[in-house]
Amino acid sequence: MRMWRTRGRLAAAAALAAVASVTVVYASGPAAASTSHRSSAGGPIVVGVPVALSGSEAPIGQADAKAAQEYVAQINAHGGVHGRKIELKIMDTKTSPTTGLLDVRQMITQDHVVALLGITSTTLGEDVLPIVKEYKVPTLADIGGGTFNHPPSPYFFKIPETPTNVAEITLGYMKKRGITKIAWLGIDNGFGQEGLPVFEKVAKANHQTLLDTIMYPATSTNLTSYLERVKGLSGEQALLVYGIPPTAFIIQGEIASAGIKVPVFQGNGVALGTFPKAVGAAANGVTVVGGNVNVFKTLPPSNPQKGPIQAFLKLYGSANRFAGDMYDCVTLLVRAMRAVGTNGPAIERYLQTKVVNFPGVTGVFTFSPHVHAGVLPSSLSVMKVVNGQFKLIETGSQVLR
């Protein structure tokens, strides 16, 4: 995907507001002046945050920037990392991989960042792989898609769950309920294009069939014709909408009026607290697989994520799971720097060897030299929208048994 994901209607002003105790440098491109500080032994630790503050991905980048600012402010207020403050270098990629790559290059070669956090575009993630490898810059990305883990790319780690995680749990849940013929309605961008073959592979292994695999344009606002194609299919037992806001929201709002009667499943792109609120009554009954931040209150007391999610909610104030991804990015980087310092290879080694069954907001992580997308499937859950709220149905571990 880049997984193009909307994270609710965050006001730009709120998302970009400076937070006390955080030195934030905003820039709009490579021509912007670089920060005067360097990550020298006595100065602040400069961390790059290349995110979209404008353009179609702005709600994503704004949420990332806000979460990073608030969390780093808290960390700095408690002494930073071995007495050094963290300085965020936030640059606006403008939802453009070209601009984003130039931003990243400036951050690495001019601003000398020790790490990158929060890249939210699959395309940009693919593009930065050579430069982060060349300069040995650890990167923790908020990307759900991409082929970065086949094999894992040096210095590049992903926080969100993978399409395989979601496909195994979603289709496994369906299979247990006798659903073997599934209509696929997916978004025609990196997120949907990567997700489709993954779901097809898992479905085949499960002896399930994805019927006419319909892809709709990412920019479409009128999706009636695509729902009519779904309605015209023969034998479907469920509809799987694999998309992201706003189109996935639009589709959900139009399903009932289109006369579609089969159960509806949505992908992890709508595992957002804003989904039931934005769609209203049309969201009721929809089944979604995703992280646990939206069902925090109903998690069993023994769930290891309860502590991290509670800390995140206290800081951020709302169950924005993608802001939670950034919270995990910061957590893992700060833990690594406190353990091994700011040397890039040392941070990579730490992430690959010391992050084992580590509970975060997004899920429970285990990284290794062979796995840089480390969310364990057992830390995801099946949720259903009931009376305008997500209700926990099953944990991932239960579904996969």
Write out pLDDT tens, residues 258-296. Answer: 999 999 999 998 888 889 999 999 999 999 999 999 998
- The pLDDT of residue 24 is 55
CATH code for the domain in which residue 276 is found? 3.40.50.2300
- The pLDDT of residue 181 is 97
- The pLDDT of residue 192 is 87
Q: What is the mean pLDDT of residues 46-66?
A: 88
Q: Which of 271, 290, 309 is the last residue of a domain?
A: 290
- Please indicate, yes or no, if residue 313 is contained in any of the structural domains: no
Better-predicted residue by pLDDT, 58 or 94:
94
Q: Which residue has the tokens 């997984």?
A: 3
Task: For residue 17, name the pLDDT band (cuts at 50, 70, 90).
Answer: very low
Cα distances from 240 to residues 109, 236, 267, 293, 297, in angstroms, run: 44, 10, 7, 22, 27
89-116 core/surface letters (b: 16 or more CB in 10 A; e: else): bbbbbbbbbebbbbbbebbbeebbbbbb
- Please indicate, yes or no, if residue 383 is contained in any of the structural domains: no
As a whole-number percent, the residues of the chain with pLDDT over 90 amount to 64
Shared domain for 169 and 127, answered yes or no, is: no
DSSP 357: S
Domain coverage including residue 49: 12-161+319-376
* DSSP result, 89-103: EEEE-TT-HHHHHHH
Shared domain for 121 and 151, answered yes or no, is: yes
Shared domain for 149 and 173, answered yes or no, is: no
Q: Which residue has the tokens 């209700």?
A: 391
- Please indicate, yes or no, if residue 396 is contained in any of the structural domains: no
Question: Above 80 in pLDDT, residue 42?
Answer: no
| Gyration radius from the chain CA atoms | 20
Write out pLDDT tens, residues 313-348. Answer: 999 998 888 899 999 999 999 999 999 999 999 999
Task: For residue 39, name the pLDDT band (cuts at 50, 70, 90).
Answer: low
Would you say 139 and 132 are in contact if contact means Cβ atoms under 8 Å apart?
A: yes
- Please indicate, yes or no, if residue 235 is contained in any of the structural domains: yes
Q: Going by C-beta distance under 8 Å and a sequence separation of 6 or more, which residues neighbour residue 46?
A: 35, 37, 38, 39, 87, 89, 111, 112, 113, 114
By the 10 Å C-beta count (0-12 exposed, 13-18 middle, 19+ buried), 340 is classed as middle
Closest CA to 362 of 381, 335, 337: 381
- Please indicate, yes or no, if residue 2 is contained in any of the structural domains: no
Count of C-beta atoms within a 10 Å radius of residue 117: 29
- The pLDDT of residue 9 is 33
E strand segments, 307-356: none
Shared domain for 57 and 130, answered yes or no, is: yes
Q: Going by C-beta distance under 8 Å and a sequence separation of 6 or more, which residues neighbour residue 176?
A: 399
pTM for the whole thing? 0.84
Q: How far apart are CA 217 and CA 197, in angstroms?
A: 18
Shared domain for 194 and 125, answered yes or no, is: no
Q: What is the mean pLDDT of residues 192-206?
A: 94
- Please indicate, yes or no, if residue 393 is contained in any of the structural domains: no
Q: Going by C-beta distance under 8 Å and a sequence separation of 6 or more, which residues neighbour residue 356?
A: 366, 367
- The pLDDT of residue 57 is 75
Q: How far apart are CA 182 and CA 204, in angstroms?
A: 12
Structure token pair of residue 3: 């997984």
- The pLDDT of residue 30 is 41
By the 10 Å C-beta count (0-12 exposed, 13-18 middle, 19+ buried), 364 is classed as buried
- Please indicate, yes or no, if residue 391 is contained in any of the structural domains: no
Q: What is the mean pLDDT of residues 354-377?
A: 94
- The pLDDT of residue 374 is 87
Shared domain for 140 and 24, answered yes or no, is: yes
Structure token pair of residue 211: 């019927």
- The pLDDT of residue 398 is 53
Taking the CA of residue 136 as centre, how many other CA atoms within 13 Å lie in the half-sphere pointing to its CB? 8
Q: Going by C-beta distance under 8 Å and a sequence separation of 6 or more, which residues neighbour residue 37?
A: 23, 43, 44, 46, 87
Least reliable range by pLDDT among 20-24, 53-57, 172-176, 386-390:
20-24
Q: How far apart are CA 109 and CA 271, in angstroms?
A: 37
In the chain, the number of structural domains is 2
| Kind and range of the H or E run holding 378 | none
Closest CA to 57 of 234, 240, 213, 190: 190
Mean pLDDT of the chain: 87
